[in-house]
Amino acid sequence: MSTREFVAAEGIDVFYGTSQILFGVSLAVAEGQTTALLGRNGAGKSTTLKAIAGVAPPSRGVIRVLGKAMQGEKPHRIARAGVGFVPEDRQVFPEHSVEDNLLIAAKKGPDGQDYWTLARVYEMFPLLVPLKARMGGNLSGGEQQMLTIARTLMGNPSGLLLDEPSEGLAPVIVERIGELLRTLRDMGVTVLLAEQNMHFCLDIASHAIVIDKGQIVYRDTIEALRNDEAVKSRYLAL
Ligand SMILES: Nc1ncnc2c1ncn2[C@@H]1O[C@H](COP(=O)(O)OP(=O)(O)OP(=O)(O)O)[C@@H](O)[C@H]1O
Ligand SMILES: [Mg+2]
CA-nearest of 215, 214, 211 to 225 is 211
Q: Is the pLDDT of residue 2 over 60?
A: no
The protein residue whose alpha carbon is closest to atom 1 in ligand 1 is 16
pLDDT, position 71? 78
pTM: 0.95
Number of domains composing the chain: 1
What is the model's pLDDT at position 63?
A: 97
Domain that holds residue 158: 5-235
Instruction: Label residue 90 by pLDDT band (50, 70, 90).
Output: confident
Residue range 123-172, pLDDT digits in tens: 999 999 999 999 999 999 999 999 999 999 999 999 999 999 999 898 99
Which residues have CB under 6 Å of ligand 1? 16, 19, 21, 39, 41-47, 196
Residue 128: what residue type? L
CATH code of residue 90: 3.40.50.300
Ligand nearest to the CA of 19: 1
pLDDT tens by residue, 46-61:
999 999 999 999 999 9
- The stretch 184-205 carries a mean pLDDT of 95
What pLDDT, on a 0 to 100 scale, did the predictor assign at position 238? 66
Cα–ligand 2 centroid distance for 195 (angstroms)? 8
